[in-house]
């Protein structure tokens, strides 16, 4: 990264967020709603009862798949550093250290940080995005009282171990010195420090290589079906949104998400025990 200029806060401002969709049905006066006269039907008409989830890295097809899979249980807001065509509520934001990033996270109940760089990013910018960008995002979240986070990492931080070992979350990561893996590992560190300071309750999901069962040939112990990962992300969101424990473990969890295959290298027992993760697809 030597010789590269540091990214400075105050880059292009976020695009204005789209206004909320008009709600059909009877209108509810705010004063009446907040008072004792609120009716059951009026309460049911309020969309705020459904948690709002911010999903990052909207330019990636997998982020769009996550949004599509989670929309039945959550309101979705997506963001990216460049404009993206999507049917979901979208805010373009460079994740700088500014008020625009705070505006992005304001009112959000949880963040699903897909944490994938743009295809055109060079090695330096990939690491910059997963470190400074993640730090700016979580700082803004803490300032806006957003305290629930699911961070998507990669099982490739564990692949240097001998292939004959079954590796669990208690093993120390050994990330290869390549930007796609190292950047994810550094992003984990950022999330962990916020969790240790009790600013965010975080679940980190270390995923295998996301594919579709039936569309792959051969075998790779890192494969995990996209539908299983979407399911795991939904379970992780449920966990962070419902967990109220004061123990350190309730603030910082790392879980492996892979196919539950007898030929797999990575144990998913912790995800099964803590989240109820039950993958449907295996090779």
Any idea what the CATH number is for the domain that residue 157 is in? Answer: 3.40.50.720
* pLDDT per residue as tens digits for the range 33-42: 233 333 333 3
- At residue 99 the predicted structure's pLDDT band, cuts being 50, 70 and 90, is very high
- Helix spans in the chain (H): 30-34, 40-44, 61-70, 99-105, 123-128, 134-143, 179-196, 226-242, 269-275
Q: Report the candidate in 184, 183, 221 with the shortest Cα–Cα distance to residue 206.
A: 184
Q: What is the pLDDT of residue 264?
A: 84
Work out the angle at residue 223's Cα, subtended by the Cα atoms of residues 272 and 213, and round it to the nearest 5 degrees.
95
Model pTM?
Answer: 0.82
Q: Is the pLDDT of residue 97 over 80?
A: yes
Domain count, the chain: 1
Query: Are the beta carbons of 159 and 208 closer than 8 angstroms?
Result: no
107, part of any domain: yes
* Cβ contact 167:208 at 8 Å: no
| Confidence label for 48 from pLDDT (cuts 50, 70 and 90) | low
| Residue 185 banded pLDDT, cuts 50, 70, 90 | very high
Residue 30 lies in a domain: no
In this structure, is residue 4 part of a structural domain?
no
Q: For the packed helices 134-143 and 179-196, what is the interaxial angle rounded to 10 degrees?
A: 20
- Looking at residue 246, its pLDDT comes to 59
- Asked if the structure places residue 26 within a domain, the reply is no
Is 17 domain-assigned?
no
Name residue, tokens 């999507």.
86
Least confident interval from 19-33, 42-56, 146-160, 242-256: 19-33
The verdict on residue 134 lying in a domain is yes
249 confidence band (pLDDT: 50, 70, 90): confident
Question: Strand pairing of 201-207 and 148-154?
Answer: parallel
84 token code pair: 């993206």
% of the chain at pLDDT higher than 70: 81
Is residue 215 assigned to a domain? yes
Predicted local distance difference test score (pLDDT) of residue 106: 98
Q: Assess if residue 20 is contained within a domain.
A: no
Residue 75 predicted with pLDDT over 60: yes
How many other C-beta atoms lie within 10 A of the C-beta of residue 5? 6
Asked whether residue 19 carries a pLDDT value surpassing 70, the answer given is: no
Full domain range(s) for residue 87: 50-275
- Of 32-41, 110-119, 216-225, the range with the lowest mean pLDDT is 32-41
Distance (Å, rounded) from C-alpha 229 to C-alpha 66? 8
């Amino acid at each position: 990264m030597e010789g590269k200029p540091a990214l400075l806060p105050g880059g292009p401002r976020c695009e204005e967020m789209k206004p909320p969709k008009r709600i059909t049905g009877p209108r509810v006066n705010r004063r009446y709603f907040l008072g004792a006269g609120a009716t059951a039907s009026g309460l049911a008409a309020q969309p705020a009862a459904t948690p709002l989830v911010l999903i990052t890295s909207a330019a990636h097809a997998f982020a769009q798949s996550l949004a599509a899979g989670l929309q039945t249980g959550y309101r979705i807001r997506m963001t990216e550093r460049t404009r993206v065509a999507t049917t979901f509520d979208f805010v373009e934001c460079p994740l700088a250290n500014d008020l625009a990033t705070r505006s992005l996270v304001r009112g959000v109940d949880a963040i699903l940080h897909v944490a994938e760089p743009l295809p055109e990013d060079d090695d330096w910018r990939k690491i910059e995005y997963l470190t400074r960008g993640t730090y700016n995002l979580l700082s803004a979240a803490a300032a806006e009282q957003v305290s629930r986070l699911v961070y998507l990492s990669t099982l490739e931080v564990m692949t240097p171990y001998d292939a004959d070992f079954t590796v669990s979350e208690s093993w120390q990561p050994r990330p290869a010195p390549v930007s796609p893996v190292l950047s994810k590992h550094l992003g984990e560190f950022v999330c962990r420090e916020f969790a240790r300071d009790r600013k965010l309750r975080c679940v980190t999901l270390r995923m295998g290589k996301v594919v579709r069962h039936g569309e792959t040939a051969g075998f790779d112990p890192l494969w995990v079906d996209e539908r299983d990962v979407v399911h795991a992300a939904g379970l992780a969101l449920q966990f962070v949104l419902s967990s109220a424990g004061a123990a350190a473990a309730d603030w910082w969890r790392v879980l492996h998400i892979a196919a539950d295959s007898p030929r797999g290298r990575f144990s998913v027992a912790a995800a099964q025990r803590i989240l109820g993760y039950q993958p449907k697809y295996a090779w």
